[in-house]
Structure 1
Amino acid sequence: MGVAIRRAGEDDREAVTRLLDEAFQDDPVSGWVFPGAEYRRRTHPLLMEAFLDATLAEGYVDVTEDGSACALWLSVPAEAADAAHEEGEDEDVPAQVREAVDPDNERVELIGRLTAEIHPEGRAHEYLWMIAVAPGRQGEGLGTALVQHVLDRCDGEGLPAYLEASNERSRALYERLGFAFMGSTLDLPEGPSMWPMWREPRSESLRGEVGS
């Protein structure tokens, strides 16, 4: 698609945090976590920064060369659940994020717990945690290029991929990229729904059919 993509690093931290904040300010899930526009403008960037720092530490961030779009990915091993249990349950990441971001807001913690509960186990996969496109650049295919960049590698390595779509528009995009709804929504308490989606790796012949 002619979109230049590179791996982001610490030097990109401020710009990517700002991009995530701008892209998700009006997202239904962000609105549920931080109800009220003024409250969300003040606090939402702190959560985006926490998510980005976690991804830079444990996963990887792809960004378009012009900085207009980014994707946060985690490589989840097949034994992830067992490994986490063996390390002990005292490292309560959702609670730590809440404490760092907004201690009085239980939804900051709850979103982490609810998404962790529905995360598929047993197979290694790539997890698309978040993808953001600058509001003025949406509809140009940048998000598709970022996701396909990793899906091509998944197909080559025989890896599935997983994500939770936070709105109907993004769900439709992911379906075009080969993701399938897993059958049960995550319905946030008194809030919007999220769609867990899974993508099996495609064979080379199928990739050729899709691209033709």
Structure 2
Amino acid sequence: MGVAIRTADERDRELVVRLLDDAFQDDPVSSWVFPDPAHRRATHPRLMAAFLDIVLAEGRVDLAEDGSACALWLSVPTDAHPEGDEGDAQGDEGDDAAQMREAVDPDNERVELIARLTAGIHPSGRAHEYLWMIAVAPGSQGQGLGTALVQSVLDRCDREGTAAYLEASSARSRTLYERLGFDHLDRPLDLPDGPRMWPMWREPQN
């Protein structure tokens, strides 16, 4: 489907935070980070805002012109670990995870743990585009918006010979990414007493 896409900026921050919050309130990983529904409703927007601020500063946010969907991307160079190393508790990335927990929900160790665990499975050694998050407003899901947003970047990846990476947080999203050419990378990440995440990698295609 034809979707008008533009690059979001600080002026879109409130809109995109609300979109991410609405889309991920019932996501398995969000539900694991914030098990209590009332606490999740109150605190989840702060986590989405923290993620968004990182990408606004360091990456790119693609936004459907009507505000119904967005995708958060980071361009990762060959020698970078975008979120650090699971075992690097003293490094900059470990500090970042701890600071995020302090800013979002200081008593909730899972805010810090999710950052460390996803960092630990992130591939290194090759430049790639990292799809951190993609969100479609609940009332607009099932219309191909997410596919259109992702495909626009994948088309550029194919032209430039660049790989792409993501972590699927549900079986439904995993199936979508498989259709877009992503393959499973290594073993899944099983969150402690929680759901499974699937690291996925896509080679550029001709």
TM-score (normalised: structure 1): 0.92
Rounded Cα–Cα distance in structure 2 between residues aligned with 1:90 and 1:145: 35
Q: Which residue of 1 aligns with 2:110?
A: 107
Q: Which residue of 2 aligns with 1:4?
A: 4
Identity of aligned residues (%): 74
Q: Compute the displacement of 1:107 (Å).
A: 0.1
Q: Which residue of 2 aligns with 1:66?
A: 66
1:95 aligns with 2:98: yes
Q: How does 1:25-64 map to 2 (within 5 A)?
A: 25-64=25-64
Q: Which residue of 1 aligns with 2:13?
A: 13
As a proportion of its length, which structure holds more helix? 1
Q: Which residue of 1 aligns with 2:78?
A: 78
Rounded Cα–Cα distance in structure 1 between residues aligned with 2:92 and 2:168: 29
Q: Which residue of 2 aligns with 1:184?
A: 187
Question: Structure 1: which 5+ residue stretches go unaligned?
Answer: 204-212
Contact 2:81 2:122 survives alignment (8 Å) = no
Larger Rg: 1
Q: Which amino acid aligns with 1:107?
A: R
Rounded Cα–Cα distance in structure 2 between residues aligned with 1:8 and 1:171: 26
Q: String of CA shifts for 1:147-183, please: whole Å, max 9, x gaps.
A: 0010000000000000000000000000000001114
Q: Compute the displacement of 1:36 (Å).
A: 1.2
Question: Structure 2: which 5+ residue stretches go unaligned?
Answer: none
Q: Which residue of 2 aligns with 1:132?
A: 135
Instruction: State the number of aligned residues.
Output: 200
Rounded Cα–Cα distance in structure 1 between residues aligned with 2:167 and 2:112: 17
Q: Compute the displacement of 1:90 (Å).
A: 4.3
Q: Which residue of 2 aligns with 1:210?
A: none
Q: Which residue of 2 aligns with 1:167?
A: 170
Q: Which amino acid aligns with 1:89?
A: G
Over 6 Å off, 4+ runs = none
Aligned-CA RMSD value = 1.5
Rounded Cα–Cα distance in structure 2 between residues aligned with 1:60 and 1:3: 17
Q: Which residue of 2 aligns with 1:24?
A: 24
Contact 2:18 2:45 survives alignment (8 Å) = yes
Q: Which residue of 2 aligns with 1:141?
A: 144
Q: Which amino acid aligns with 1:134?
A: A
